[in-house]
Structure formats: structure tokens, C-alpha cells
Structure 1
Amino acid sequence: MTAVGESTSAAPAAKKSGFRPDVQGLRAIAVLFVVLYHSGVTWLSGGFVGVDVFFVISGFLITTHLLESLERDGRISFGSFYAKRARRILPASLLVGIATVLAAWIWMPPLLMNEVAKGAVAVALYVPNMLFAVEGTNYLAETSPSVFQHYWSLGVEEQFYLFWPAILAVGFWLCRRSERRLLVVSAVLVAVSFALCVALMSVSQPWVFFSLPTRAWELGAGALVAFLLRSGARWPRAAGTGALSWVGLALLAVVGLVYTEQTPFPGYTAALPVLATVLLIIGGAAPGRGSANRILGLRPFQFVGAISYSLYLVHWPLQVIPQVAVGEDNPLPLWLRLALGAVAIPLAWLLFRFVERPVIAWPTLRKRSRLWTGAAALATSAALIATAGGSYYLTSARGETATNQTAGEETQLQKDPAGTGFVPENLTPPLEEAEADNPSIYASDCHRPQDSTDSSGCRVGENEDAPLVFLFGDSHAASWYPALAELAEQGKIRLDTNTKSSCPSVDVPLVLEGVTYTECDTWRQGVIDRINEEQPDLVLLANYGAERPELEGGGDFATRWQQGMESTIDAIEGPGGDGSGSGSDEAGADGSGAGADGSGDGSSDGAADGSSSDGPVVDVLADVPDQGETSAVCLSKNLEDTAQCAVPRGEAFDPAVTEAEQSAAETTGARYVDLTAYLCNESMCPPIIGNVLVYRDGHHLTTHFSRLMAEPLWEEIEASLG
């Protein structure tokens, strides 16, 4: 590396930058990876790494430009830099943002418009990535994503552009105008960012995925390439170096084909696509024909590379809005998703031809760059915020979220409910409040978050003579808390609640967001230890197995789920600590309860009397029906015909998981308690019973409905206690 003012024969040539067709072709590969991945092409399961390729390219190009400014002028013209960024990014982003809000208003359920508005505001404030990090969005596994979710990468880049020029300018001054010393500083920052990316994966994958500090190293890797190619070093200019681009291309292809949604990402696995891009950029700079430039320079790649930014903007709403319009439980066929991806190409060309390119070349903006920098940014933000705010108005203007009919007030549940065929105006809770209708243990922190290992539990009920009941499981167990709390307030039981997000009481090692969920194992064992110490009268196990969470080590899910449930029940010991289990070993052959489809109409006596003198009685609660999509969202577009949102009984349960839980209860002498008959009739599981909304999303009971389940649940608890 040579400092400004020093000269070598190789340096001037090495420091010249200009248009590179290979980089344009690399842009094409990156955006095609993303578009095909989002279009459902399963063999390109790692297509999401296209964003990482973009990060490296951006870091390389931006740093090259900034270093040229430092060499030429000894400083960075921040006004000029941000004006160019504004002309490049904001107009197309603004237009697509407005079009997305309007399209969402036309085709998406009214109840989702508030989420659309929230996303638009985050985009306007250049922090969409932070919004998704705060919400804990899992980008690789999200089933109902935001229409603005793809803007997260733009948020990372915009935030990088905010800090990086200043870092280089200050560093250049502190390093006495030496690019070599500045390279060392930059390398240290890149290393720190990469270390954070790897280390924090075990803490919070969403924050690692979406935040700038843990993603900056990818842009920084491109920056280091810019330093290298400006250094005057001879080996990057050697003819044989071109072979590196072939290595990079092959590595990128392997990553795209091998990585999946289960790959821990970003973390250390992001290093491979970043390395592949680095090799492609370095190899592409070498003279001669030994590189992959001839492929990357082909006209189709040049065309797609030119429109890559516009294509990235338009492709995502085309995938998300139609899917949401037809319902998440009706996946769009592959051919249609591919067609939508193909339609994005001409739309992107129109956006590039008539918006992106003209604005970049607009003479007025180029001459008054500093003035227009702030004006363009402020105007864009104001327009997007106004659009977002307007979407709230559009939501109310579009129509109500209930009919003008009323339904009979539901005070006591009956079996085989017919359901209410319309959304009543006296619906409890209203559709707008469904998502927030959580059990009170969420607000009081008695329901443990994913990062907690606190197994202390929370007690409800003042009748010291009442039997002690432990509730033990994940968020589906928490859904039963209002019913059990009602019984505790009536003095029928004393309740000790032990629930934790995404952590079943079933003894299985889980992988959560790509990393081993050790907090779950620690918490679960802590609860079991407390049960064995407290010796409650009854332990209620309730879990969400239909989601089939990722098990560490793989294998047949139903088999391992059954073994894990048996392990948990067997670990619940009597006073003597002999680990003998909870119930009688005389389970009847006919004690299997509901069928594999969850069609039972009550509980089964898996044990002779559901009790044992050796330790606490254990009841396994059958899971609630899985609606497939958020009921409130579906109902908001089917106000007069709620049957459109009812799930067939045969599709509401995972038969293999149901059978596994029944078998585990029978094997261990526990009691399998099935209350499905209060949630479903013979054919369907309605989303509204009487005037009560049953589900707050697709598979959690509302607090209001759970309270109504208190009496049916008490009948089963009373039977278990003998």
C-alpha cells in the first residue's frame, strides 16, 4: 500500500477505476439468486445469499470511490457523495413503496394494513432492518412476511453509507494520509464485526441477521478488496489470478445449492458467499482471458445486472401480496410463483428506464448536489410517512371489520359447536385486538422468553387446601393459563405456571433459528426438578408439536417426540425419587383416546384411574386445532361467511404427532385429555363460537375463549385427581 504522494510504476494503473462488466454480471447472479429463491425454486435453497453478494459489491464500489476522492482531493465531499446515493436509491424506492401500499390496500385483508403502514414508516426512516430485528423476524422461515421485508438490506446499506465515509475520512487524517495504515484500521473493524456476527448467533439470530454491526463486515470485505486492488501489489494483476474468479463462481454455486433455511445464518456460514464474491472481484480484475469475465460479460447478464436494483425492489411485493390475498393456507403453485418472478423483469426494466436512470442523469440534481441531497432525502421520507399514515385512513375507508349483526353471548361451551357464520359486531375480542389478546403471564413475565432459563414459576390461587397443579409447556400451554387461572380464582386449584416460548416440556433437543436451543434444555430440567421437589397433585403437559420444531440430530419427528414425552413423564418422580413415573402401568389397550386426527370427544383413561401413589398425576393435554393462517386476518375479508376461515377437522391436527402423544401417555400411565369436541364439530373447527373469537392467531387460543374452557377443563382435572 502506498500513501498519497508516494509513487510506484504500478500504482497509478492499479488505482484507476471504471465500469467493470464482470461486476455488473455478478450483480445479475446475485439478484437472480434472490428472485428464484423467493419464487420457490427448491433446488436453489441457498439463494438468499444473493443479498450477501450485493453487500460485498456495494462495499467494494463505494470504498473505491471514496478512496479515489481521498487520493485526489485529500478529503471526501460528503454533499456530493450523499447526493449520488440519494439519486441512486431514493426515487425508485419511493415509487415502489407507494405502489406497494396501494396494491396492499386493494388486495390484502384490511387487518394487515396497519402492518403495511408500520413497514412503510420504517422504510421512510431508513430503519426497516431494525424493525424486523425488534420483532424477532426469522427471514429464512417467515410464513407471513411483511411486504417491505426485502427493504431490510437497503436499511443496512443506507446505515453503512451514513458511517463509512466519515470513518474513512477521519481514519485517513489520523493515519497521516496513508492508505496502508487505513487498510489496517479497516481490517480491524471488519474483524470485530465478523466476531460479533459469529458470537451473537447464540444470543439472537434476528439481531445478527438484520443489524448493521453484525453485517458491516460483509460490506467491509468488499472495502478491503478495494484497498487491495489500489495497493499496486503485482499478484492481483498477474494473468493466473483470473482463475480465482472461477473458484469464486464455483463456490457461490455450491453455496446456492447446498445452503438451506436450516443453515445457521449469517454467522460463520456467511463467510463462504462473501469469500466467493471477493474471489470473483479480484479474479475479474486480472488481465487476460483466464477469468470468468467472458461469462459474466454476456449480454443477458449485463441486462439483468443493470436492472438489478429495480428488480430487487419489485419482485418481493409480487410474491407476497398475491399469496396473502388467497390466504397462507393456499400456497401459490410453483408455476405461478415463477410467472410472478418473470413479470418482475419487465416491470424492473420500466422502473430502470423511466425512473432510476433518468434521475441519476438529471442535470439539475447533478449541479445542485448538496442542496438536493437533503431535499431528496427529506421529501422521500415525508412522502413515505404520508403514504404510511394514509394507509391507516385507507384501512378505515375500505370497510368495517365486523358486520352489523350481533351474536348470542357465549357463557357456557357445548360440545360440537356449530360456529357463527358471520363476524358479529359484539365479537370478543374484536378482530383488531385479537393479536394482543395474550394471557396476562406475558405482561407479567411469568411466561419466559426464549433467552430465559428462569424455572421459578408463578403461583395463582389462595385456597391452601386446593390441589396444586403445575402447568408445563410452551406457548400452547400458556394458552390454557386463563382457564386454569379462572379455576384458581374460584378456589378449585392452586396453579403453578411454567411456560416458555418455543420450548416444549417434551424432552427433545431443539435447534432454534439455526443454533442449539440450550436455554430450553436448562429451563425444562429446572422445572422438572421443581416438580420433583414440590410434589404437586397434578402436572398438565401442553405443547405445540404440529409445528414440528427442528430437532437437533434429525430423525423421525413423531418417534422422537413420543420418546421425548415419555422421558419427561418418567423424569417426574415420586417422593422417594425412584423415577417410577406418574401413573399406573396398567394402561388399557383401548385407552388411546382420540384418533390420530384428534377426533376424540373427551378424555381417555390411559391409566386405570389416572393416579399413583408414587408421584404426581400427569395429564397430557391434546393440542388445539391448527388453523393454518391467522383467523382474524382471514375473517377481516370474509365478514359475512366465516366458514371460509374454518379449517376442516381432518386437516386441523398432525395425525403422527397426535398418535405419538397418545402412545406416550398410554406407555407411561399418564392420562390423555382431549377437549377437541369443544373446539370442533364433526366436520369443521370454526373460528368464532357464539360471540367469542377462538384464536388470536392461527393456533393460540384467545384469552377470552380460554376462560370459557375453564369448566370443561375442570371436569377433566377433577377426574384425574380422583
Structure 2
Amino acid sequence: MTKYRPEIDGLRAVAVVAVVLFHLNSDFLIGGYYGVDVFFVISGYLITGIIVKDLENDTFKMSKFWIRRVKRLVPLLLTVVIITILVLPFFTFKPIYNDILKDIIPAVFSYFNFHAYFNFGDYWGPAADKSFFLHTWSLSVEEQFYLFYPLLLIIIKKYFKSFLKPLIFITLISLGLFVCFVKFKTHLTFYMLPFRFWELSAGGVIACLPKKSTLNKIYNTVFPIIGLLLIFISYFFAEKTISYIVVLPVVGTALIIYFISVNDITGKLLSSSIFVHIGKLSYSLYLWHWPIIVLFKNLEFRFLGVNEWYIYLFIIIATYLLSVLSFKWIETKTRNYRNTPKLVLLGVGLCLALIAYYKSPYFNIHYPSLYNQQTYYLQQYDVSPTQVILKKGNPLIYNVTVLNRSSADNDAFKKQGILKRINDKNPEILVLGDSHGAMWAKTLEEACGELKISSSVYTTNASKPFFNLHDLDDQASNEFFTKKERIDFAKSIVSNIHKWKIKMVVISCRWEALSDDNRSEFENLMVYLKDKNIKMLVINQPPRISIVNNLNVSQYVSYLKIDPKNGFHTISLSQDKVIKGNQFVAQLAKKYSNVMVFDVFSRLYNKDQMKITHNKDVLYFDDDHLSDSGTRFFKQDLKKTMTKELD
């Protein structure tokens, strides 16, 4: 086990290249994430060999083992973390920095797998995709393995004659747990050591098997080829989440490690200079590639229109160059340096100091704005009994005046909505909607006022306004309404439509997010209003700025240093879901003569550009909500449309 095996480094290259390609673009190698499982088997094999040898010679010391692991893994990890958090403020949108800081401690102290499971859930989800240190989950699994595994081997040595049979038994137990849970606890089995232990201990089993020289030499040629094929099958034919296929790279890696010889075809390939070179850099490549990829995702707006292959090439070159430097100056220097533990403590202290600084008032996360200040009306026009409140300090509302709902309107959902009477007249227009309805409420109220028309608003932020018209006493509760409150809401709307003799219902929603029940209830509302000879004006959904998901667009435009005199029309982003939602609305409206659609989408979007600003106004609040300036941009057209339909 002390003899250097170049083919192991070659196998590391097979693993790390797959992971990097997968992270660059999963379409390149759909199962590239199984490269991590190859790493797990290699680690288990090497660590078991080291520990077993020391135990058999009575030279094993736990403290020595852990210090050696710290020297091997932690200095480079700290280097990547520190450089990343020092560089990011110069490139990324600073209001997201608090989310980045939350990931540092779990990454440094090797519990990122727990952090990811409880905070991100799906490894393939959008929250995980934004984390600069997501990839350290696998390092955390390994470090946790190193913490307990030596103790396990010490116990085995004390109570058993050999290591092999107990390790096989424990490996099968962990494999059994994985098989039992992977289908219905996928995220748990992905992140947690008990369900990954078998992959690492499989390498341990290989380390404890008899030497292969006693076996038929033909196996030494055939089985490594089979092993490599199994690994590549998992890379190319995997599902988009972990599954039973993981057995293939684990078995394949085990076959290669045990049977391979540098003299056979697989051994010559994996021992070749290019494979060995990449394999030696594999730890550096693994640590550097993901922060660079996430950085470019954060800079996506700056690279709109740039050929993505140039970006991929730059990421690969940058990752490689940083890896060469860090391998030479960090990995090789600190591995045997006696004061490395002190450097590690210094690095941890620096991380903590940087976190403290970035959380302090001395670090300004805001950008000076050249644009007009926004006013946020969604809370004011939300009739939900339980509201979504954007609290002071939330970066989403920086340089935004937030108006809260009047206490007089706390029961508006079951009384008269948020009522605006003109000349003491009953409302002629009723406004319905979710948060997209609430974003239009102020502009619609103003437009009605200018037309001398009274109005009432029943918009519900974060929940759809639709309800069961066939049985008003049968309504579903949600996070913001109890069942009783939802019944009161439905009855109030129906009652006031009759009492006030409403002439028009204006409705706006996030149409891309309708459930099947929502769609059915929406059409039932159209039928109901048609039977009552009431007009319906449907405002379609504006285009989404998907790459500023839930961010303050006004601040984002300032971060990009966009001068108002030039305006900001971004290259069109994919709008497939929004278009599909708007098409549903348009097709449904054609069925009913009382329904017309007010088209916002096409006025902000064409195949070449998407309108974000107008003069000194930013038209968006966040990625999918228009600002107050954005809705007022359409006020005159809305007035003309309402006047025409009401005449």
C-alpha cells in the first residue's frame, strides 16, 4: 500500500473531469456527478490501507491520523474559501452576500452536507445551484467518514481475526439502507454518510482482499475494462438524480483498483502522463471549478450574447491555472509542513473575521442609484388575513418606500375589499388577483379615480384569488387564509358583485403558475360573469427577468452601472413558461365575448430585446413584478381600454 500507483491518479482524472463537465452543463455528461462516487471508493481504499497497516504494526495513532488528514485537505479548502469571499464583492451583486456567508462555516467545519440538506434540499434545485461552496458537501461526507472510520477499524481489530468479513457486513448494511431509502428519501440518501458509507467502505473491502497475484492473470485485463465501462455507463445513462445506478461506478471503481495492472490496456491508459497529471490536480480542480462556475452564473447579465463556448473555455482555463498554482504552492507545501495546523487555525480565524466584517455596517451592500425611488404597494393592497411582510433591512426593499395596509382594511377580505369611493358612488370595478393583481392595484385605483369611477380591490399576495363558485361554503384553506376566512372571502366578493352591480372585473395573476384547479375556477368565474353580463379585463403577465430571481431590480441596474440616459433593454431571455401561461389566458378569453386581454407582455418584450427602464424609472420591482413606475407606464392605455369596455 505504500507503493505509488499512478493508475489511481488516472482514475481520479476520470472522476474529476466528469464532475467538472457535469457542473459546466449537465447536458455534456448527464451522470457526471457520479464522479464523486469514484472519489469515495478511491478514498476508502487508500485510507483503509494506511490505517490497517498501522494497526497491524501497532503504530496507529488517532491524533496523528487526523492531523495528517487536516494537512492534506484543509489548507487548500481554506485558501479557496478565503480567496472566493475576498474576490466576490468586486464582481457579484452585494445584497446576495449574506446568503453566501451562511455557507462558509458549514464548508470550513465539514458539515456542509447537513447544511445543504436542511437549507437547499434538492442538489439540483435553484437554491443549491447558487451556493459557491455546494461542492464541499462531498468533502464533509469524507471528513465525517474519517472521524468515525478509524474507531470502527480499531474495534474490528480488537474483536475479530480479520478486517474483511466485518467490513463486508457493514458495507452491506449501509448499501441496504441506501436501497431502502433512495426512492422516497432521495435528498437524505444523497447527502448523508450512513447512506454513502458503503461506497467508501467498498474501497476498504478492496484494500483488505488477498493480493491479486494469486488470481488468474486474464482477470487483470478483463475486469478493469469492465470497470471502466461501468463507470462510463453511469456517466452517460444516469437519471437526473441519484438512483440505483450509483452501484455501477462503485463496482466499476472497485474492479479497476483491485485488478488493474500498469501493463494492461486500462493500466497503460490511466497511467499515461495526461491522466496522471490531471489526477494529481484533481483535488484542486474539484475545489476551484465550482466557485468559478457560480461566479459566471452571477455575472450572466454581463455576458448576455457572448457565445457560451467561450465562457466554458474560460472557466476551464481559469480552473486549470488556479489548480496548477494551488497544487504547487498549497497542496505540496502544506502536506508535510509541521506548522500546517497553525496555518489552518490562522485561516479559520481569517474566515471568521471576514464573516464578521461582511456582516458589519462597515460593509455597504447597497449601490448609489441614478434612478427614481420606488414605492411598494403590494402589502397595502393585500387583503389576506395573514400577510407576507417585507421587513426593514431586506435587500429587496432597499431604496424602496414600503406602504403597509391600513388597520381599517384588516377585515377587507370579508367586507368590502379595499374600497375607493368616488362621489360616494358604489364601485363599478372590482380588482382581483394574486401578488400580480396587487402590483396593479394602485395604478388601477388611480385610473378609476381619474375616470370618476369607484373601485374595490380584493387582491391576495402569495395566493390565487380563485374559489369554488359552485359551493361557497366549500373553500380550501391555505397558508394565508383559514377555511372559514376563505369562505368569507368568496362570499364577500359574490355578495358585493350583486349588491354594487359591478360592471367590470379586472384580474391579473402570475398566469404561468396556475394549478389545474385554478384554471378550472378561473373559467368558472368567466362563465359566472358572462351570465351576469359583467365585463372581464384580464391583464396578462409581464416577461420575467429570470436571472435576477427575487432580487431588487433597481439596485441590480445600479450594480450594472446602467446610465438612465442610455436606457436598459436587455437581450431577450427565455420566456417559455410566461408565454405558455399567457397563451392559456388568451385562448380562454376567445371563448367568452365579455372577456378581453390587456397585453402587457408584448409591450415589454420582443424577440430581440426586453424593456427594463424608461427614462429614470426602473419598470421592475423584482424578477416578475413590475414596479409602481412599471404599472403607471401603462395607466393611460388602461384608462382608454376601461373606458371603451364600459361604454
What is the alpha-carbon distance in structure 1 between the residues aligned to residue 343 and residue 377 of structure 2? 60
Contact between 1:311 and 1:348, CA under 8 Å: does it hold in 2? Answer: yes
The 1:235–1:224 alpha-carbon spacing in structure 2 relative to 1, beyond 3 Å, is farther
TM-score normalised per structure 2? 0.71
Overall identity of the aligned pairs, in %: 20
Q: Is the 8 A contact 2:281 2:323 kept in 1?
A: yes
Among 309, 315, 318, which residue is 2:289 paired with? Answer: 315
Structure 1: distance between partners of 2:535 and 2:152: 64
Query: The residue matched to 1:361 in structure 2 has which SS?
Result: coil
Could you say if the C-alpha distance between residues 541 and 59 of structure 1 is closer, same or farther in structure 2, counting changes exceeding 3 Å? farther
Bigger shift: residues 34-43 or 350-359: 34-43
* Structure 1 contact 22–293 (Cα < 8 Å) conserved: yes
Matches within 5 A, 1:76-475: 77-136=61-120, 138-140=122-124, 142=126, 145-170=130-155, 173=158, 179-201=164-186, 205=187, 208-209=189-190, 211-213=191-193, 216-232=194-210, 237-242=215-220, 243-259=222-238, 263-284=239-260, 289=263, 292-325=266-299, 327=301, 330=304, 333-362=308-337, 364=338, 375=342, 377-392=344-359, 396=363, 400-403=366-369, 407=372, 432-434=395-397, 461-463=413-415
Count of aligned positions: 576
Change (3 A) 1:635 1:208: farther
Contact 2:371 2:564 in 1 (8 A): no
Amino acid at match of 2:463: T
Determine which of 21, 24, 28 is the counterpart of 1:43.
28
CA contact (8 A) 1:583 1:610 kept: yes
What is the rounded CA distance, in whole Å, between the counterparts of 1:460 and 1:653 in structure 2?
35
1:676 pairs with 2:575: no
Cα gap change, 1:25 to 1:668, in 2 (>3 Å) = farther
Structure 1 position 409, deviation (Å):
6.8
Choose which of 34, 47, 50 in structure 2 pairs with 1:65: 50
For residues 77 and 660 of structure 1, the distance between their equivalents in structure 2, rounded to whole angstroms, comes to 68
Change in CA separation of 1:194 and 1:29 when aligned onto 2, cut-off 3 Å: same
Q: Given residue 367 of structure 2, which amino acid in structure 1 is its aligned partner?
A: T
Residues 186-195 or 305-314, more deviating: 186-195
Q: CA deviation at 1:230?
A: 1.4
C-alpha spacing 1:411/1:71, structure 2 compared with 1 (3 Å):
closer
RMSD (Å) for aligned C-alpha atoms: 5.3
Give the conservation status (yes or no) of the 8 Å contact 1:541–1:620.
yes
Instruction: Please give the alpha-carbon distance, in whole angstroms, between the structure 2 residues aligned to 1:440 and 1:283.
Output: 70
1:622 Cα shift?
1.7
TM-superposed deviation, 1:632? 5.3
Task: Write the letter of the residue equivalent to 1:492.
Answer: S
Q: 1:128 touches 1:151 (CA, 8 Å); kept in 2?
A: yes
Q: Give the distance between the partners of 1:53 and 1:430, measured in 2 at CA.
A: 45
- Counterpart CA distance in 2 for 1:408 and 1:672 is 33
Structure 1 residues 377 and 691: alpha-carbon distance in aligned structure 2, compared to 1, 3 A threshold: same
Please, which moves more after superposition, 229-238 or 125-134?
229-238
Change (3 A) 1:406 1:82: same
Does structure 2 conserve the Cα–Cα contact (< 8 Å) formed by 1:92 and 1:351?
yes
Q: Partners of 1:664 and 1:81 in 2: how far apart? A: 69
Contact 1:463 1:493 in 2 (8 A): no
Give the conservation status (yes or no) of the 8 Å contact 1:402–1:639: no
User: What amino acid sits opposite 2:83 in the alignment?
Assistant: A
Amino acid at match of 1:629: I
Larger RCO (CA under 8 A, 6+ residues apart): 1
- 1:3 matched residue in structure 2: none
Deviation track 1:396-429 (CA, whole Å, cap 9, x = no partner) reads 36x85124x684776999xxxxxxxxxxxxxx99
Aligned to 2:620: 694
Contact 1:688 1:694 (8 Å CA) reproduced: no
Query: Which stretch shifts more, 236-245 or 151-160?
Result: 236-245
* Structure 2 contact 430–506 (Cα < 8 Å) conserved: yes
Q: Which runs of 5+ in 1 are unaligned?
A: 1-15, 366-371, 414-427, 442-457, 506-521, 550-560, 574-579, 585-608
Q: Which runs of 5+ in 2 are unaligned?
A: 379-390, 405-409, 420-426, 446-453, 468-477, 495-504
- Offset at residue 298 of structure 1 (A): 0.8
Return the letter of the residue paired with 1:251: L
